[in-house]
């Protein structure tokens, strides 16, 4: 049973490290988006089409970011299930 606990502990550590790093990157991206939005709000020389493109780009990268996190989380769940079920003690 010790091997299963060790494998689960390693996967939990990796998952936690990924989530903390990912959350830090999300915070940086959200701050950059806020700054860009504030800049675009004051930049009267940028056409509305350009501002709309930036807003659309923001939606796309957020969806990609969320999809990536879900895929990695699913991968950790599958790895944990596979590795702990394949260890016979």
Mapped onto helix, strand or coil, the DSSP state of residue 89 is: coil
Percent of the chain with pLDDT over 90: 57
Within a domain: residue 61? yes
Q: Is the pLDDT of residue 44 over 80?
A: yes
> What is the structure's pLDDT at 3?
80
Within a domain: residue 42? no
- This prediction has a pTM of 0.80
Cα 80 to chain centroid distance, Å, stands at 19
> What is the structure's pLDDT at 34?
94
Q: Is the pLDDT of residue 74 over 90?
A: yes
Within a domain: residue 33? no
Its domain, for residue 87, covers: 47-89
Local confidence band at 88 (pLDDT 50, 70, 90 cut-offs): low
Number of domains in the chain: 1
């Amino acid at each position: 049973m010790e091997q299963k606990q060790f494998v689960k502990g390693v996967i939990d550590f990796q998952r936690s490290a990924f989530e903390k790093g990912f959350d830090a990157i999300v915070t940086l991206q959200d701050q950059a988006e806020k700054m860009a939005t504030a800049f675009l709000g004051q930049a009267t020389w940028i056409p509305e089409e350009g501002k709309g493109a930036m807003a659309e780009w923001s939606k796309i990268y957020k969806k990609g970011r969320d999809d990536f996190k879900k895929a990695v989380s699913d991968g950790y769940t599958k790895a944990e299930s596979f590795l702990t079920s394949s260890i016979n003690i």
